[in-house]
Amino acid sequence: MYMTQCLQRTVQLNPDHLATIFGERRQTYQQFGERVARLAGALQRLGMAAGDRVSMLALNSDHYLEYIMGVWWGGGVLNPVNSRWSVAEIVYSLDDCTPVILIVDEHFAAMAEEIRQTARQAPRFVFAGEGEVPVGMLGFEQLIAHATPVEDAGRGGDDLACIMYTGGTTGFPKGVMQSHLNLWSACMPRMVDMPPIAGGRLLHVAPLFHVAGMARALIQFLAGETHVIVPTFEAQNLLQIIQRERITEILLVPTMILALLAHPEIDRYDLSTLKRLTYGASPSAGEMVEQVLKRFPDIELSHSYGLTEACPVVSSNLPCNHTAEARRSGLSRSVGRGGLGVNVKIVDAQGQEVPRGTVGEIIVRGPNIMLGYWNRPEETAKALRNGWLYTGDGAYMDEQGYLFIVDRLKDMIVSGGENIYSAEVENALARHPAVSMAAVIGIPHEQWGEAVHAVVVLKPGAVVEAEQLRRHCRQYIAGYKCPKSIEFRNALPLSAAGKILKQQLRQQQLID
């Protein structure tokens, strides 16, 4: 079970089938496979040995898919970089997993020098963007053009395939180690639940540095079908591409779906080829489902729940649970049942399974569960206990095995499909000299699902404006993590043990 096998298979069986469409660039599987084999050779010549990490900091493109397959073909390990991070966050992750090569595109090339200057061990830079190759970098296209293609390294099974960084309650990202078997085992059950559309064209909008975007790309490779890629989400551009390229399937987060539905010109476009829409990375939104099915009554609508540590899918709520009857019964608000090969339980604080209908923590076991956290044995031991992954997510399970999420035990905020950890934002706020204490919670937001809200206690005599605190935070964390709203109080509600009672803060926000 190695992830490049699906590319070998399609090159052998259907070499002339379109593999990728990116703007005006189109390539068949034969062409794509040749570039991947050459890229693997080029990366090896640059020093990538078996198990070495190679990072990519870029927007979605056909080059991103070549990076994914090329690194594996050459025996390396992927480290996709969150393109929404600040330089400080990027450097932290690079220092942690020490990639030998960092591939950047034109959107992030300007960050390269600061990364080079601040990283403990700067990687070699490769430019995979449009325009001239910047000074101090090697050109992606030139490397491929002059490289000798190599044989597939064939690394698979429990070999490390990818390190994806996810936020942690300490405020520092953790590198989730995913094996080839983990990724394979996550993709195959999904293909059983939702068989590939023959001749299907998948539109990649979700960022490929996210596990959801990458996993969906892998499923399309396993199916041997066509990838259509856009760099970022823009509603009108998406409508044009769905019509022009006859898109059959798309993965979006609810904020994107609502923006698409609200576009004033949506009815001008022929969207009749769109057969399937998967949404995730945000709590299920009942009103959004109604809007989608009103506009696309025959579409196959499904919702997935998962996390990076599960590569990513734990459960899926399939199209059969989005019917009018299922919506009336409330079943559409579920996140579905565990996939094939995935064991799911709801447990109490002692790890004992609770009765159906009782809220507890979701724990998961299966071949899709991560190997552990890179260089973090203690945190790995906390998350993986007796073969089970403790997710930190609160839910209950009904008598039919359907999961219903009720809370995020780790105080994670989901805003616009991005996971934001409150401790990370609180740590940034605490670095301001005027701040005594800060608590960060998610509050409902019409567009983003949730917005980051900070409650701040200032030091005696200190004065600071909300906008000043937001600017301060941007020095340390990505802009999307910074508080959208800030309120100042004289004190925070505390428990007898001195812990901040965030539930009280949330309730007060609802009352206000």
Q: What is the CATH number of the domain that holds 439?
A: 3.30.300.30
* pLDDT (0 to 100) of residue 430: 84
Residues, the chain, total? Answer: 512
Q: Shortest CA distance to 95 belongs to which of 44, 126, 53?
A: 53
pLDDT, tens digit (0-9, with 9 covering 90-100), for 213-233: 999 999 999 999 999 999 999
- Of the residues 150, 178, 206, which one is the last residue of a structural domain? 178
pLDDT, tens digit (0-9, with 9 covering 90-100), for 43-101: 999 999 999 999 999 999 999 999 999 999 999 999 999 998 999 999 999 999 999 99
Examine residue 275 and state whether it is found in any structural domain, yes or no: no
pLDDT, tens digit (0-9, with 9 covering 90-100), for 319-338: 999 999 988 888 888 999 99
Percent of the chain with pLDDT over 70: 95
Percent of the chain with pLDDT over 90: 77
Examine residue 278 and state whether it is found in any structural domain, yes or no: no
Is residue 498 left, alpha or beta, with left meaning phi > 0 and alpha meaning psi from -120 to 50? left
pLDDT, tens digit (0-9, with 9 covering 90-100), for 135-178: 999 999 999 999 999 999 999 999 999 999 986 434 578 999 99
Examine residue 46 and state whether it is found in any structural domain, yes or no: yes
Number of domains in the chain: 2
Examine residue 225 and state whether it is found in any structural domain, yes or no: no
* Spatial contact of 422 and 454, defined as CB atoms under 8 Å apart: no
- Tell me which residue range forms the domain holding 124: 5-178
Mean pLDDT of 291-306: 93
And the tokens for 403? Answer: 């999961």
pLDDT, tens digit (0-9, with 9 covering 90-100), for 14-46: 999 999 999 999 999 999 999 999 999 999 999
Tell me which H or E stretch contains 44.
helix 29-45
Examine residue 396 and state whether it is found in any structural domain, yes or no: no
Examine residue 300 and state whether it is found in any structural domain, yes or no: no
- Scan for tokens 């206000």, then name that residue: 512
- Domain at 118, CATH number: 3.40.50.980
- Of the residues 178, 211, 243, which one is the last residue of a structural domain? 178
End-to-end CA distance of the chain: 54
* Spatial contact of 218 and 187, defined as CB atoms under 8 Å apart: yes
Kindly provide the b/e burial profile for residues 480-498, where b requires at least 16 CB atoms within 10 angstroms of the residue's own CB. ebbbeebeeeeebbeeeee
Longest dimension (CA), the chain: 73
Examine residue 317 and state whether it is found in any structural domain, yes or no: no
- Of the residues 118, 151, 178, which one is the last residue of a structural domain? 178
pLDDT, tens digit (0-9, with 9 covering 90-100), for 464-473: 999 999 999 9
- Scan for tokens 């390990």, then name that residue: 77
Task: State how far the Cα of 165 lies from the Cα of 177, in Å rounded to an integer.
Answer: 9
* pLDDT (0 to 100) of residue 272: 97
HSE-CB of 347 using CA atoms within 13 angstroms: 16
DSSP symbols for 140-172: HHHHHHHPPP-------TTSEEEEEEE--TTSS
